[in-house]
Amino acid sequence: MTEIYPTIAQCAIVATAFKILLFPAYKSTDFEVHRNWLAITHSLPLWEWYYEKTSEWTLDYPPFFAYFECILSQVGKLADPAMLRVYNLEYDSWQTVYFQRFTVIATELILVYALQSFIESSHGVTKRAVQAAAISVLLSPGLLIIDHIHFQYNGAMYGVLILSLVLVRHKSGLLAGGFVFAALLCMKHIYLYLAPAYFVYLLRTYCLSPKSIFRIQFLNCLKLATGILGIFGLAFGPFAIKKQIPQIMSRLFPFSRGLCHAYWAPNVWAVYSFVDRVLIVVAPRLGLPVKTEAVNSVTRGLVGDTAFAVLPEVTPRICFALTLLFQVIPLVKLFIRPNWDAFVGAVTLCGYASFLFGWHVHEKAILLVIIPFSLIALKDRRHLSAFRPLAVSGHVSLFPLLFTPAEFPIKTVYTIFWLILFLMVFDRLAPASNRTRFFLFDRFTILYITVSIPLIVYCSLLHPIIFGKSYEFLPLMFMSAYSAIGVIGSWIGFMVVYFTS
């Protein structure tokens, strides 16, 4: 078969060269978070990992990620042993910085392998489109901003997610795909949001007979349950022996945090918060009561602070109920028609529901939606229409993570170039749908993308010039509300596409 260029490997090499140039760039507190975790897992006994609190950045990821940090620390001691001292807070020698930056690039090879597997699992005339989608994920501005500047290890973990999606594409890989996803849950618990789609798909295709849903394949159920329990046993077993599971759970699920993150993630609650801010101004004219103590909270996105001045308060139970409701809706179709495209669509919609309605959602969680959606965005032009506003809003919403002047041209130029390049390529490669496209939705997308450029210019450049350090939260509020409109619009569009395909 003739190879299509550029290949994933070629793009990975060029991307790596560019990422190395970013080693001296801005790094967030997440850099110190992971340095501290390297120190904890290297210097302390296993039983103390989830109790150590010398630093405020305590270990709050599941055990497999802690084991991962422990493995990295064995190499890290060769670069600079001082980084592995628990009491060496805020330590960032150039050896430490370069080592941690390099580990992000090295572990991203998992993503490269998963994307190559995704390409090889696809056949026919869609090969070029599949490769374009894979390259768009590899070169994602989201991964560049979050992992290679801000600092995290999302590339490796999304590689594991994509690998599990590829494995379950064929009947022979269903069991392995389930095991890989279980291992991913033991690395980062945010992927629990996608678990309902995996549960329904594996139940329908592996545990129940394809001839009748009333015939249970008990041997398959036993193999799947035994394997998953074994994986969770490897992760949590050593801590269960010491009766530390409650302590780990308190670290993984800190519900004392507020509804919104410090910067409002672009979801339903960002719009809710924005409306509340507007109502503070107009409430006296409308005769609405205003809570004075809530008005004094400037952002109402600080940890533990969820007060609204005019609108009713939102509780974790409300968030859970809404998230569950909008996850169950696509899962019904998946149960009835359990094919791979419907499964990836359900994974995407589970990501949407958790991001839009979840409690204390981080803006970085938008990748839970963008990356799985990217794999099916080129199925036809209707899918692409729903993907476009997500691609714009999701990536633009990450800009406030990098607030330093030196990184402004990097994040802006790279993201705009990526959007122009891939949205044009996608537009050429996406096949026509056999169903009517949404005229109004297409026009909404064009208008939405057009507004993004002046908004970025104002929030990043003009606002500081006009107001100085006054109204610092205003650009964040505008950016979050704008991005939320795009994400919500994309979600509604994809829900329609999903149920009419």
**pLDDT for the residue 435:** 76
| Mean pLDDT score, 28-50 | 96
**pLDDT for the residue 332:** 97
**pLDDT for the residue 124:** 59
Is residue 1's pLDDT more than 70?
A: no
**pLDDT for the residue 278:** 86
Angstrom distance (rounded) from CA 264 to CA 487: 13
Which backbone phi and psi does 208 adopt, to 5 degrees?
-110, 150
Is residue 76's pLDDT more than 90?
A: yes
User: How much helix, strand and coil, in percent to the nearest 5, is found in the chain?
Assistant: 70, 0, 25
40 touches 57 (CB < 8 A): no
Percent of the chain with pLDDT over 70: 94
| Mean pLDDT score, 246-261 | 80
Angstrom distance (rounded) from CA 78 to CA 80: 6
Model confidence band, residue 451 (pLDDT cutoffs 50, 70, 90):
confident
Angstrom distance (rounded) from CA 83 to CA 128: 45
Q: Which residue has the higher pLDDT, 160 or 435?
A: 160
Report if pTM > 0.85: yes
Model confidence band, residue 320 (pLDDT cutoffs 50, 70, 90):
very high
Residue linked to tokens 């592995």: 84
Q: Which residue has the higher pLDDT, 489 or 476?
A: 489
**pLDDT for the residue 303:** 44
Angstrom distance (rounded) from CA 106 to CA 84: 20
Model confidence band, residue 297 (pLDDT cutoffs 50, 70, 90):
low
390 touches 404 (CB < 8 A): no
Angstrom distance (rounded) from CA 207 to CA 219: 8
- Among the ranges given (180-184, 325-329, 364-368, 397-401), the one the predictor scored with the smallest mean pLDDT: 397-401
Residue 411's CB is within 10 A of a number of other CB atoms, namely 24
| Mean pLDDT score, 301-312 | 66
| Mean pLDDT score, 356-375 | 94
CA 292 from chain centre, in angstroms, equals 35
Is residue 253's pLDDT more than 90?
A: no
Angstrom distance (rounded) from CA 88 to CA 54: 10
Strand pairing partners for 208?
Answer: 216
Is residue 75's pLDDT more than 50?
A: yes
CA distance to 76, 186, 188, 332, 422, per residue, from 65 (Å): 16, 7, 7, 33, 32
The DSSP 8-state label assigned to residue 291 in this structure reads: -
Q: In sequence order, what are the residues at sequence separation of 6 or more whose Cβ sits closer than 8 angstroms to the Cβ of residue 372? A: 161, 165, 194, 344, 347, 348, 351
- Among the ranges given (254-258, 276-280, 480-484), the one the predictor scored with the smallest mean pLDDT: 254-258
Residue 314's CB is within 10 A of a number of other CB atoms, namely 20
The phi-psi region of residue 304 (left if phi > 0; otherwise alpha if psi is between -120 and 50; otherwise beta) is left
User: To 5 degrees, how large is the angle CA 444–CA 432–CA 483?
Assistant: 25
Angstrom distance (rounded) from CA 227 to CA 232: 9
Give the highest mean pLDDT range of 62-71, 268-277, 309-318, 430-439. 62-71
**pLDDT for the residue 305:** 56
Residue 219's CB is within 10 A of a number of other CB atoms, namely 9
Is residue 125's pLDDT more than 70?
A: no
Angstrom distance (rounded) from CA 382 to CA 379: 8
| Mean pLDDT score, 276-294 | 81
Model confidence band, residue 210 (pLDDT cutoffs 50, 70, 90):
confident
Which ranges of 297-339 does DSSP label H, i.e. alpha helix?
316-336
| Mean pLDDT score, 292-308 | 57
373 touches 494 (CB < 8 A): yes
Residue 246's CB is within 10 A of a number of other CB atoms, namely 8
**pLDDT for the residue 261:** 63
Is residue 497's pLDDT more than 50?
A: yes
Please give the mean pLDDT across all residues of the chain: 91
Picking from 164, 191, 190, 158, the residue whose alpha carbon sits closest to that of residue 179 is: 164
**Helical packing angle, 381-396 and 439-457, nearest 10°:** 20
Angstrom distance (rounded) from CA 294 to CA 133: 45
- What are 164's two structure tokens? 């599990």
**pLDDT for the residue 425:** 95
| Mean pLDDT score, 280-301 | 70
Is residue 137's pLDDT more than 90?
A: yes
The dihedral sign for the CA sequence 170, 171, 175, 176: negative
Give the chain's end-to-end CA distance (angstroms, integer).
31
